[in-house]
Structure 1
Amino acid sequence: TVPFFGECTRRPKATFKDLQGFMAGSAQFVQCNKAGLYGRVAQKKPFLKKCYTQSRLRYAKTHLEESDTFRQKVLWSDETK
């Protein structure tokens, strides 16, 4: 069971299928629970944070009445980090 514990702590976001080779029987499952390694799924995060969407909306509202030449000078990008 030692390789399994090491694998779980090294890769906390690994799926069950990735770790399946390390778990042969239910005895190891019980040992994992006693060691504090429970089954879990990584949390899904939104592509854009709420603060970023609010700042984009604030920028759009403040520059709503700008001319077309101003808009041509601004570099637009829809990429997220």
Structure 2
Amino acid sequence: MDKNDLVEKIIQLEAHNEQLKNIINKGLGENNSAKEPSVADRKFDFNKCHYRRILLRILYFGWNYQGLAVQEDSTQTIEHHLFHA
């Protein structure tokens, strides 16, 4: 193969590559537009919910944690775990 044949082959392969990319993009675009948003994709609307105040009764044994209030040097406090939950 001489240089001209190689150049023509490169141009042909690049054109074929572009065609394949367009086909893939069209296929992905059709799937995304036809797909309904799943439950995980939808945002939760707090305005549609009813609110109710509740009382939590907590029994605290201190030997597994390092106090009830936030401390600068530790995250193993009851308050940290309550806010994390």
| Bigger relative contact order (CA 8 A; separation at least 6) | 1
TM-score by length of 1: 0.30
Structure of higher CA gyration radius: 2
